[in-house]
Copies of this chain bind each other. A is one copy, B any other.
Amino acid sequence: MESAFEIIAEPNRRAILGLLVLSEQSVGEIERRLRMSQPAVSKHLRVLRDAGFVEATVDAQRRLYRLKPERLREVDTWLAQFRRFWSAHVDALERYLDRVDPNPAKEASPAKKQKSARPKRRTNKGERK
């Protein structure tokens, strides 16, 4: 309930977020498009709202829900530490990683704002304890 990860663990909630990425939606629209019961939609939206993934505005009897990306960024941030594992090819993605995990012993890049220092990137081969 707390962590962003638990929130998005539920498939219906991911589906709702996937809908809201397109545009804001009313409860009824979500209900129809995802073929879920109305209470189910409301309950998931409640969870998402409490967790800060979405926000709602009132339009007569409707509530229009829209995305709030902050919590999803948390997931993205956690994921960053693993990206090195699939970024063998050097390109824009790698430079993105450099922002999160700085070790630019590279050549010319305009030297963006660096933050904390983390261990050098490396490939872990066999090492004995």
Contact = CB atoms under 8 A, between A and B. Distances in A.
Contacts of A124: 22-24
A56 to B, nearest CB: 15
A73 B87 CA distance: 10
Please classify the interface of chain A as helix (H, G, I), strand (E, B), loop, or mixed, using the class held by over half of its residues: helix
How many copies of this chain are found per oligomer? 2
Interface of A: 3, 5-6, 8-9, 11, 14, 17-18, 21-24, 26, 29, 67, 69-70, 72-73, 75-76, 78-79, 81-83, 85-86, 91-96, 99, 110, 112, 115-116, 118, 124, 127, 129
B116 A91 contact: yes
Nearest to A76: B79
